[in-house]
Structure 1
Amino acid sequence: MRRCRYLLRWLLLGAVLVTGSCGEPETPEPGLVGGWTTAGCEFTRRPETVTVGGRVLPATPAALEAAMARIDAGGRAEHAGSYAGLEVDQERVRAIVYRVPSAAFDEFIRTSADNTCIVVRDAGHSLAELTGWHDRIVADLPAWQAAGVRISSVVARHDGAGVEIGTPDVERAREELPRRYGRQAPLVFVEQGPVIPLAEPGVPPAPRPGG
């Protein structure tokens, strides 16, 4: 699956995450206008695994992976104003799609899901919008460095919450960046030191339910 990613020693932009959990499929928490699930979530499926180097690891079933690829491709193209990102929950054999509420995109998700389980949740911002903010901030990194504001990472969050700014100077960044980008800019500040770049960027883990 193609993911929008920017790497600059310590920068990562992605739209797909992996999460692991146990139990029956859950009803999504209500968002801006509430969430919903596809018909495939009515069925309980046995998680799939793969053995790598003697270790048994969770795996994404081919049907679910294909549905995710269709939704991701359509979300980035025809429904870019709504699509925020997705994550896969391999142990519950489902994917979670985040989107700015859109009847047209919801119908596309239903069609693309086939008989797989897709949980749909609301997002405040689309990936296209956050990518614009992400690229703008990345372009300004030399200026921020010259101003003494240390930025370790810039990430468009897959849940559409905003552009996450990792910095060891949280309070200063929270004060300085909105002055340039406006108080309404969708920025989320987190404390983070320098990040060592990955040799081969993979799919990072998402927080477990309730985490």
Structure 2
Amino acid sequence: MRRFRCPLGRLLLGAVLMTGACEEPEINQPGLLGGWTTAGCEFSRSPETMTVGGHVVPVTSERLAAAMARIDAGGRTDHAGSYAGLEVDQERVRAIVYRVPSATFDDFIRRAAQDACIFVRDAEHSLSELAGWQAGITADLDTWKSRGVRISTISARHDGVGIEIGTQDVERARREMRRHYGRSAPLIFVEEGPVTPVRSRGVPTAPQDGG
């Protein structure tokens, strides 16, 4: 799964519209990564495209973008205890929504989707829960720096798996941060070098087949 992370100073409260693998969801399967689809997925659609630098690339259709905006807005407000995030797959003209199972939020997604194709998958943690963890770790950055644990990036995974910690010393960070926050803390450690400036990439999209 390809991910975009935020450098310190531009920390996100949630990685929304993030990229992810595009395997077909296991429809109507219980448990994590099980899920269901909205009625709009019964209809096939051709991806919309534009030409950039002589290359034809897919773009998000207006209808799908509007449905995603409605779901994201409702998820962050009325359904914050369930909503984890979403990603867009322009090639297949669909979006994938991750949420802690909630019948009320599911009903909202069905209405908000209208005729757009939305895959709904289970998540372990909601965006609001991960935002709390992210805020706490961010507040402790000076402490970790004084202990020699240099954190490059912090981001809440859009699929609700946990908080991703980018650091040059993965093993040390894992050992000391789990000792401090507890072994049940939803922390994921990845090797990442010093902070470097990044440019805005616009709305990230799911990688195509083989990507």
When normalised by structure 2's length, the TM-score is 0.87
Partner SS state of residue 16, structure 1: coil
> In structure 1, what is the equivalent of residue 15 of structure 2?
14
**Deviation string for 1:64-108 (max 9, x for gaps)?**
000000000000000000000000000010000000000000000
Q: How many residues align structurally? A: 204
The Cα of 1:16 is off from its aligned counterpart by: 1.2
User: Is residue 9–residue 195 contact of structure 1 (8 Å, CA) maintained in 2?
Assistant: no
**Mapped contact 1:10–1:153 kept (Cα < 8 A):** no
Query: Partners in 2 of 1:113 and 1:130 — Cα distance?
Result: 25
Pairwise CA distance, 1:206: 4.5
Q: Is the 8 A contact 1:10 1:196 kept in 2?
A: no
Alpha-carbon separation, structure 1, partners of 2:134 and 2:45? 37
Given the superposition, is the C-alpha separation of residues 10 and 74 from structure 1 closer, same or farther in structure 2, using an over 3 Å criterion? Answer: closer
Structure 2: runs of 5+ lacking an equivalent: none
Give the distance between the partners of 1:27 and 1:178, measured in 2 at CA. Answer: 32
- 2:24 is aligned, of 9, 23, 26, to 26
> Which position in structure 2 is the counterpart of 1:173?
173
**Alpha-carbon distance change, 18 to 171 in structure 1, aligned in 2, over 3 angstroms:** closer
- In the TM superposition, residue 44 of structure 1 has moved relative to its aligned partner by 1.0
Q: Which residue does the alignment assign to 1:133?
A: 133
Structural mapping, 1:117-196, within 5 Å: 117-196=117-196
CA shift for structure 1 position 43: 1.1
The 2-side partners of 1:197 and 1:33 are apart by 34
| Counterpart Cα distance in 1 of 2:142 and 2:68 | 36
Q: Does 1:85 align with 2:71?
A: no
Q: 2: distance between equivalents of 1:210 and 1:54?
A: 22
Equivalent-residue separation in structure 2 for 1:126 and 1:94 (angstroms): 21
Residues 1:156 and 1:111: Cα distance change in structure 2 (over 3 Å): same
- Structure 2 CA distance for partners of 1:210 and 1:159, relative to 1, 3 Å: farther
Distance in 2 separating the partners of 1:180 and 1:124: 21
Q: 1:51 aligns to what? A: 51
Q: Secondary structure at the match of 1:35?
A: strand
Percent of pairs with identical residues: 65
User: Please, what is the CA RMSD of the aligned residues?
Assistant: 2.4
Distance 1:206 1:33, change over 3 A: closer
Task: Tell me the CA shift for residue 41 of structure 1.
Answer: 0.6
- Aligned residue identity for 1:199: R
Runs of 4+ in 1 over 6 A off after TM superposition: none
Matched position secondary structure for 1:17: coil
SS at match of 2:155: strand
TM-score (norm 1): 0.87
Q: Unpaired segments of 5 or more residues in structure 1?
A: none
Matched with 2:108 is 108
Query: Aligned to 2:129, what secondary structure does the other structure show?
Result: helix
User: Could you report, residue by residue, the CA deviation over 1:22-61 in whole angstroms, capped at 9, with x for unpaired residues?
Assistant: xxx9343644383000011111110111122333211000
